[in-house]
Amino acid sequence: MNQRSELQITDAEWEVMLSVWEAEDQTAGEIIARTETLRDRSHRTIRTLLARLVEKGAVDVHVEGSRHLYRAAVTRNECVRSAAHSFSERFFAGNLQSLLMHFVENETLSSEELAELKQTLDEQLANQSQPNKPQSSGKSASRRRKTQ
């Protein structure tokens, strides 16, 4: 497993990442201004969180003259995938069937969501039964749009 797949981002860092993902090459001040609207955090706290994200490899920083510009080094989808993997390992011993069954049985899903889930599972089953066909990402087009 590479470093990015093991990326652990805290809730507070996630709030900063939401701002970082909004645009490339932002100054710390621009990130702070956007992040402050999410939660009442001090400039110093947000700068600390941003520094941690740089240390973790989630954010890149480069210097242009006297300005430090920040941009995401990982996609939102990579972070979600890492968090989902961590959640699965922690609460379901990595058993994806148990995780999925838990959500299907304990959460309210609309008829449309259930139909989309069924379609995605049917697609995965069809892909597995055809060994020469490349595996899909496991997401329907509409679900991919929601997470990216």
pLDDT for position 123: 94
Whole-model pTM over 0.85: no
pLDDT in tens, 118-135: 999 999 999 988 766 555
Res 5 pLDDT > 80: no
pLDDT computed for residue 144 by the predictor: 46
Q: Residues 109-119: pLDDT tens digits?
A: 899 999 999 99
Contacts of 24 (CB under 8 A, 6+ apart): 71, 72
Question: Mapped to the 3 state alphabet, what secondary structure does 10-66 carry?
Answer: CHHHHHHHHHHCCCCCECHHHHHHHHHHHCCCCHHHHHHHHHHHHHHCCEEEEEECC
Say if residues 32 and 45 touch (Cβ distance below 8 Å).
Answer: no
Alpha helices in 57-133 (DSSP H): 76-92, 96-106, 111-129
pLDDT at position 148 over 50: no
Segment 44-100, tens digit of pLDDT: 999 999 999 999 999 999 999 999 999 999 999 999 999 999 999 999 999 989 998
Q: What is the pLDDT of residue 133?
A: 58
Predicted confidence band of residue 32 (pLDDT cuts 50, 70, 90)? very high
